[in-house]
Structure 1
Amino acid sequence: MIKFSGIASSVLLASAVSLASPVASAQSEPTYFTSGGVKALYYKPDSNPKPRVGVLVVHRTSNYLSALACTELSKRGYGVFCMNTRYENNELLVDWDRIALDVKVGVDYLRKQPGMEKVILFGHSGGGPTLSFYQAVAENGIAFCKDPRKIVPCSDDLSKLPKADGLILADAHPGVPVILLRSLNGSVIEETPKKFNPQLDPYNTANGYNPNGPSNYSADFQARYYAAQSARMNALIDSALKRAQEIKAGNGPYPDNDMFFIPHGGNPGAGPGGASQLHSLDLNISLRKTNAPQKLLKNDGSVSTQIVTSVSPVELGTMSSTMSFDRGTKQLTLRSFLSTQAVRSTNSLNGIDHCSSNNSTICAVKSISVPTLVMGMGGYLFIRDSEEEFEASKATDKDLVYIEGATHGFTPCGNCINANGASEYSNSVKNMFDYINTWTLNRYAKSSPPASANNNPRAEGGAGRLPF
């Protein structure tokens, strides 16, 4: 283990109007804010200059200053702090737990706004593990992130983070390490480009690959491939830990850090096409659907309870992209890999030790008590992941809903399976943010949240960081 440097109805109605007036409009000139490595825009509705509920929106490395949630939530009456971390567009240098200090800046900012009573964290995609990690530490202290299972424990300076009042996970992935694990080409031999075990090669037609349409991998191949992905990740972790120990002992090529490249590992900057995830190639992989009937918010605004299956099409470009350097090679450092991208497992499907990493939505929600809303996008690939986040959540007030035909970015999917273009899912954005608004009003327009709503229909380096 390495350590890196009750209220009357009239009052409720008034509160609801102040939160989300139907005539509210998104702020035309959001306020720019910067502090240290944090950059942000604070959006308020022009018609409601002192919102009672604030929402923090952030990713790990992406620019979220003009994310869709910024305008959609502010025009519904919320103050929205859309921020970028110190690692904006810089995956190479990420040191995972430093991001929590950036999130603290945003929470503090919202708490200081006139009239602000509640703060909600909105975690989209990589913002899911970012904000769930923050809230888990804020609720439980640094004991959570110093768990002996962690490959890289956190620093002492994460103590006493201010807690938020709610958590929204919007197509949040289960954690950066899980995405890498499932993106690794499990047939790679000795971490050598273009050196593959043909019996494990997902792009070998003998194994079920179809270059022109949906692939069809047998249960036996899937089991062997998932185990091979885990074996490869575990070997990468062991190699990185050994090199980090050599640096700590003064025997490394540099005194502080070193490069760490992963061929055929998928480059997040290149989009999903840079990854070798079986469920992006085979429509029958179990990750593409829920285990149990769940709520599906349909385009017409109705809600059905059913097994939800992704309508996302297969990704036919993964073979060419994963073979390249720019699109298929993870370009990291020892620090950014071990702190942000590494997780232990026995297989990449359901044998993941989520709590071996601090970058894990599924581990974090097990320790989060505030009301939690989990939303999955029906036109993308985090279907089972969203359900698992909901199942793992400790919150007694929690909800899970899927948005029919929504892409990972919430917009209507135009090329999804069995769809007649984007028009079939034209209300995905409106339906999603209206649902969020109703969920929020039901909890934060009142003096206290309900006891349970599981089925609601509608700072620099810390002490002792070694070796870096």
Structure 2
Amino acid sequence: MGGGVVGAYYQAQTPSAKSAIGIMVMHAEGDYLKFNACTELSERGFNVLCVNNSFSKNLATSGVDFEQFMIDAGKAVSYLKEQAGIKKVVLLGHSGGGAMLSAYQNIAENGLAACNGVEKIAPCSSEKLANLPKADGIILLDANYGLSTMTLLSLNPAILDENQPQKRDESLSLFKPQNGFSPTGATYTADFTQRFQQGISARMNRLIAQAQRRQAAIAKGEGLYKGNEPMIIADAHYLGMNNRFYSQDPRFLSRTEQEWDLLKADGSKVKQIIHTVRPAKNLKDRDGDFNTSALKTSVNSFLTTFAIRTDEKTFGYNQSGFTGVDWDSTQTSPISAVKGIRVPLLTMGMTGNWEFLAAEKIYQNAASQDKTLVFVEGASHLITPCKECENVAGEFGDTVKTTYDFIGDWLGRFH
């Protein structure tokens, strides 16, 4: 496809009405050439293009850039549309890929107006985003809240000076027993909860201000380099192993606000308040580690991809949602992007991890008149059964089959 964009094309074994539907799978920066959607959906009769964008697949480097992702995704959609027999193209974004592909479809449907408004911290600038090819539908498979929000939720508020990140306010440490931590899981105190959540909001706002100052200096020719410069942020990498607070204390972001359909192991579908079944995670202190915890990005990419505005006075989250977040301020929030998407939308949450709750918020904000929300009981973030969530071995059944059977049926609207 050019420019470092490569893919694996999984073709249906037997031509049928289903094989006229092409599924394009891409993650924000992970290697998805062998993701389970590739094989599972092709085995169900669909043609599936699984694509790696041009960013490094060494996830520790944090090399993703919003505008380049949009360009790379456009190449993949164009390639799939050109394949023999393809009549409809549906995007499938998992985790951070869901956040990015929802932004892609919003821009493809609405043009630059979707990304260059004054509400954005960093409005889009590339004319190459003006005519992105549209997809005919979109599947958000355990999509997270977006790279910017996951960065916010991975910040260590104990760091008060970005130039001296090893100097910390230990009263804001997740791993102090006096704050509610234990080696088997946390029950954080109300006081610590408030201070921690306000602390991450304050730190994100400081980082945005810092990046904007550096961007202004670069524009004046006073930067370290022309056009851009590195930005390394301690204890800020958005990958799951660095997601903080609610991973250690699973009372938070643990249930939906409303009743929704839950797919169970026996094939039944039950409407209820959806609860996570996840245990406490991320109980090892990784703070200060350069390779796994630091976000290694640039000034421009931080502002376009990883930054989001919050209100320090009102920001917080509880069992079922957030307050004080300006979802429209960032380019990488699916909760914002789906407001501009009109094609059929399926959003699915896996209850074996914390991303599941984003599916409800995405659905509640979606503009599409053909939108579906469903949850899979006991599925991990990677769609497989969550073994550590089980009380009885095998109680959640084959969550991969449950998930892709439902997706296969949902795709029936396109043939």
Which residue does 2:117 correspond to in 1? 147
For 2:75 and 2:237, the matched residues in 1 are separated by 32
Query: AA paired with 1:134?
Result: Y
Is the 8 Å Cα contact of residues 297 and 304 (structure 1) preserved in structure 2?
A: yes
Instruction: Indicate yes or no: 2:91 matched with 1:121.
Output: yes
Is the 8 Å Cα contact of residues 150 and 238 (structure 2) preserved in structure 1?
A: no
Which residue does 1:306 correspond to in 2? 272
Is the 8 Å Cα contact of residues 267 and 327 (structure 1) preserved in structure 2?
A: no
Is the 8 Å Cα contact of residues 173 and 385 (structure 1) preserved in structure 2?
A: yes
Instruction: Indicate yes or no: 2:5 matched with 1:38.
Output: yes
Q: What is the CA distance between 1:387 and its match in structure 2?
A: 0.7
Is the 8 Å Cα contact of residues 242 and 282 (structure 2) preserved in structure 1?
A: no
1:166 pairs, out of 102, 125, 137, with 137
Query: AA paired with 1:99?
Result: F
Is the 8 Å Cα contact of residues 26 and 93 (structure 2) preserved in structure 1?
A: yes
Which residue does 2:295 correspond to in 1? 330
Give the 5 Å matches for 1:86-235: 86-89=54-57, 91-154=61-124, 155-191=126-162, 192-210=164-182, 212-235=183-206
Which residue does 2:47 correspond to in 1? 79
For 2:103 and 2:362, the matched residues in 1 are separated by 13
- Name whichever of 200-209 and 74-83 sits farther off: 200-209
- Indicate the SS of the match to 2:106: helix
Which residue does 2:208 correspond to in 1? 237
Query: AA paired with 2:336?
Result: C
The verdict on how the C-alpha distance between 1:92 and 1:324 changes in structure 2, with shifts beyond 3 A counting, is closer
Structure 2: tracts of 5 or more residues without a match: none
Which residue does 1:281 correspond to in 2? 248
Query: AA paired with 2:34?
Result: S
For 1:308 and 1:419, the matched residues in 2 are separated by 18
The verdict on how the C-alpha distance between 1:267 and 1:130 changes in structure 2, with shifts beyond 3 A counting, is closer
Is the 8 Å Cα contact of residues 60 and 88 (structure 1) preserved in structure 2?
A: no
The verdict on how the C-alpha distance between 1:39 and 1:58 changes in structure 2, with shifts beyond 3 A counting, is same
Is the 8 Å Cα contact of residues 267 and 326 (structure 1) preserved in structure 2?
A: no
Larger Rg: 1
Q: TM-score, normalised by structure 2?
A: 0.93
Q: What is the CA distance between 1:111 and its match in structure 2?
A: 1.5
Q: What is the CA distance between 1:307 and its match in structure 2?
A: 1.5
Deviations 1:112-152 (A, max 9, x none): 22222211100101111111011000111101100111111
For 2:356 and 2:34, the matched residues in 1 are separated by 26
- Indicate the SS of the match to 2:153: helix
Deviations 1:433-452 (A, max 9, x none): 000011111x112xxxxxxx
Which residue does 2:21 correspond to in 1? 53
Q: Identity of counterpart residues, as a percentage?
A: 38
The verdict on how the C-alpha distance between 1:112 and 1:381 changes in structure 2, with shifts beyond 3 A counting, is same
Is the 8 Å Cα contact of residues 291 and 384 (structure 1) preserved in structure 2?
A: no
Q: What is the CA distance between 1:373 and its match in structure 2?
A: 0.5
For 2:130 and 2:85, the matched residues in 1 are separated by 27
- Name whichever of 85-94 and 109-118 sits farther off: 85-94
Q: What is the CA distance between 1:190 and its match in structure 2?
A: 1.3
Deviations 1:221-277 (A, max 9, x none): 323321210110010011011011111101112113222111122363xxx2233x2
Query: AA paired with 2:397?
Result: S
Instruction: Indicate yes or no: 2:355 matched with 1:382.
Output: yes
Structure 1: tracts of 5 or more residues without a match: 1-33, 446-468
Please, what is the CA RMSD of the aligned residues? 1.7
Which residue does 2:31 correspond to in 1? 63
For 2:84 and 2:170, the matched residues in 1 are separated by 63
Which residue does 1:291 correspond to in 2? 257
Query: AA paired with 1:343?
Result: I
2:395 pairs, out of 407, 415, 424, with 424
Is the 8 Å Cα contact of residues 369 and 396 (structure 1) preserved in structure 2?
A: yes
1:397 pairs, out of 362, 370, 384, with 370
Is the 8 Å Cα contact of residues 375 and 402 (structure 1) preserved in structure 2?
A: yes
For 2:229 and 2:292, the matched residues in 1 are separated by 21
User: Matched residue pairs, number?
Assistant: 402
The verdict on how the C-alpha distance between 1:318 and 1:180 changes in structure 2, with shifts beyond 3 A counting, is farther
Which residue does 1:344 correspond to in 2? 309
Q: TM-score, normalised by structure 1?
A: 0.83
Is the 8 Å Cα contact of residues 266 and 397 (structure 2) preserved in structure 1?
A: no
